[in-house]
């Protein structure tokens, strides 16, 4: 073993631990969630991202602006277009989020973000994913991902921890030598408690009254063990909310089990398991192209599709067939988050009609499906239809 490397490693760990304690301090100071009803003008940032991102984000922005036209006119909401969140700029600045872009993001209350391309290990530029960086910089600790398949009685909502776990130091692992590499996983009391509480609060508020806590605490004993231990503590504050715990491997299996899967309601899980399981879950609903995602913190919130920037679609000239539904579902979550529940429900029902029930136009991502333009027109016509609500109810009651 190289003793100089070992010394370097010790220093590296010391730095990481100091940074984590600084983060814990910050978490402790930030107690209350922002109250949007007290804000005169809500600033909505729009960042298109890479690949199919700018195109699908433009569609979502169009729908959002139509739904909030009155509020925009009355000056209750305004938009900030943020163009610089591109892979090109990130490589140029050699930063996951260039400073000027981060400053712009911080001027917003909420952000609608298109997918951004994530450099892979071994790519020439070794920068962190813009997603992961944004979640950390804006402390967006709750990644909320609903998945619904009404015909199958599936109604899940995932509360994925978003700033810790394997992601906290995902770009700060240590490459000792050709024989040994080490990565780190982080769980803090503060960080675990706030996500678990968010899940229990949601279960209580919505009357779902059931939380499943997911770990692999039989193997990852320290950090997952902590997560589970904190869940036990937190659950005591919610006597009316039933809860259980599952290991992530068997959860992955049970989501496929038709008899068992409907018992899951609110599911809270550490970062990496949340990443994997929510892609699996979205598949039941029609794929990652159909699922929206909210990244919520106490001060900021960011809403996005759960999928990536699909560079292959760009290479193959298929951008105009890209599915905007995932980011439109994110718009539903944004509207709900900033206090426009009625408009959120309106858009949700229109999307349900167009994506699940009526399906007059189908997006396939290819020529055999409709274009995103055609789909958005169908959606807007559905929204405008005075009988939409009746139509929706008749579908649901069937
Ligand atoms: C997601 C994505 C991201 C993640 C990637 C793009 C870094 O897969 O939002 O689920 O792993 O969190
Ligand atoms: Mg993912």
**24 falls within a domain:** no
Ligand nearest to the CA of 133: 1
**395 falls within a domain:** yes
16 CA distance to ligand 1 middle (Å): 22
283 CA distance to ligand 1 middle (Å): 16
Output the CA–CA distances (angstroms, integers) from residue 378 to 20, 347, 363, in the order listed.
48, 12, 12
Measured over the CA atoms of residue 288, residue 289, residue 291 and residue 292, the dihedral's sign is: positive
pTM, rounded to two decimals: 0.94
Answer for the pair 279, 158: CB distance below 8 angstroms, yes or no: no
Q: Write down the pLDDT at residue 119.
A: 75
Rounded Cα gap, residues 387 and 32, in angstroms: 40
**166 falls within a domain:** no
**73 falls within a domain:** yes
308 CA distance to ligand 2 middle (Å): 8
Ligand nearest to the CA of 326: 1
Ligand 1 closest atom vs CA 279: 10
- Rg of the chain over Cα atoms, rounded to whole angstroms, equals 21
- CATH number for 122: 3.40.718.10
Mean pLDDT by 10 residues, the chain (398 residues): 90 97 94 92 97 97 98 98 94 94 98 90 76 95 95 96 95 91 97 98 97 98 98 98 98 97 98 96 90 96 94 96 96 97 97 94 93 98 95 89
**269 falls within a domain:** no
**191 falls within a domain:** no
Q: Is 304 in the pocket of ligand 1 (CB under 6 A)?
A: no
331 CA distance to ligand 2 middle (Å): 18
Residue 155, judged by CB atoms within 10 A of its CB (0-12, 13-18, 19+), counts as middle
**58 falls within a domain:** yes
Q: Which domain holds residue 353?
A: 31-140+297-398
Q: Is 129 in the pocket of ligand 1 (CB under 6 A)?
A: yes
**212 falls within a domain:** no
- Count of domains observed in the chain: 1
Residues β-bridged to residue 155? 148
Ligand 1 atom 10, closest CA: 275
């Amino acid at each position: 073993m190289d003793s100089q490397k070992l010394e370097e490693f010790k220093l590296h760990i010391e730095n990481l631990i100091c940074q984590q304690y600084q983060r814990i301090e910050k978490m402790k100071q930030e107690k209350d969630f922002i109250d949007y009803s007290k804000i005169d003008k809500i600033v909505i940032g729009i960042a298109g991202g890479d690949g199919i991102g700018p195109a699908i984000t433009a569609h979502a922005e169009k729908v959002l602006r139509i739904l909030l036209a009155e509020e925009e006119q009355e000056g209750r909401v305004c938009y900030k277009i943020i163009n610089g969140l591109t892979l090109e700029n990130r490589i140029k600045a050699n930063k996951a989020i260039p400073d000027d872009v981060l400053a712009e993001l911080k001027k917003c209350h909420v952000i609608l973000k298109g997918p951004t391309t994530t450099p892979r290990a071994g790519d020439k530029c070794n920068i962190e994913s813009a997603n992961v960086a944004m979640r950390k910089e804006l402390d967006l600790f709750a990644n909320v991902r609903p998945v619904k398949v009404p015909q199958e009685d599936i109604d899940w909502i995932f509360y994925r921890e978003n700033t810790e776990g394997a992601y906290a130091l995902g770009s700060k692992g240590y490459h000792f030598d050709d024989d040994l590499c080490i990565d780190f996983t982080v769980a803090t009391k503060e960080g675990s408690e706030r996500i678990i509480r968010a899940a229990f609060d949601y279960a209580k508020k919505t009357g779902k009254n059931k939380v499943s806590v997911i770990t692999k605490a039989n193997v990852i004993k320290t950090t997952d063990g902590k997560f589970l231990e904190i869940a036990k503590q937190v659950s005591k504050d919610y006597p009316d909310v039933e809860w259980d715990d599952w290991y992530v491997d068997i959860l992955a299996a049970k989501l496929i089990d038709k008899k068992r899967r409907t018992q899951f309601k609110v599911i809270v899980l550490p970062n990496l398991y949340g990443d994997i399981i929510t892609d699996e879950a979205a598949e039941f609903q029609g794929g990652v192209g159909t699922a929206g995602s909210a990244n919520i913190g106490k001060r900021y919130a960011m809403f996005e599709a759960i999928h990536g920037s699909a560079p292959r679609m760009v290479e193959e000239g298929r951008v105009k067939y890209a599915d905007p539904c995932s980011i439109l579902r994110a718009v539903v979550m944004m509207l709900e988050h900033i206090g426009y529940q009625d408009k959120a429900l309106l858009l949700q029902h229109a999307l349900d009609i167009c994506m699940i029930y009526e399906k007059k136009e189908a997006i396939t991502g290819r020529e055999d499906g409709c274009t995103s333009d055609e789909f958005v027109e169908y959606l807007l016509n559905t929204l405008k239809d005075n009988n939409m609500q009746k139509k929706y109810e008749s579908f649901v009651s069937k």
